[in-house]
Amino acid sequence: MLEWGARADLLEARAAGTGIVPPALASRPEIAPWADPYWRAFLDLSRERLPAGAIPLAAIRTWLDEEQVRDPVLRGEFRELVVALDQQWLAASRPADAGTVQGE
């Protein structure tokens, strides 16, 4: 995702124009239909991300309120999925040497 992310439309247009599919676009994962609403919400909530940090839980709650999601089970599942997506995003966004101590 980090390779194509917000540039997917641009990459798709180039591929359509040139007939050459960039590797980042060719390796893009398919989002299962049931997961699409969660994925779109995650992308929307990513704008609320703290600098170099996670999406605030308050932003997730606000999003659920604005979308009028009232069912507590659905709210809990939604929160868990968005937090899991966010953790994966953060892990993939970290530089490869972020966890090493200088001099090792």
Residue 50, Ramachandran bin (φ over 0: left; ψ between -120 and 50: alpha; else beta):
beta
Q: Report CA Rg, the chain.
A: 17
- CA 50, CA 87: separation in Å to the nearest integer? 13
Domain ranges for the chain, please list them. Answer: 1-30, 31-95
CA 18 vs. chain centroid, Å, equals 28
CB 79 within 8 A of CB 57: yes
Q: What is the pLDDT of residue 101?
A: 47
pLDDT per residue as tens, the chain (104 positions)? 445 556 677 878 888 888 888 787 777 778 889 888 888 899 899 999 887 789 999 999 999 999 999 999 999 999 999 999 999 888 888 776 555 444 44
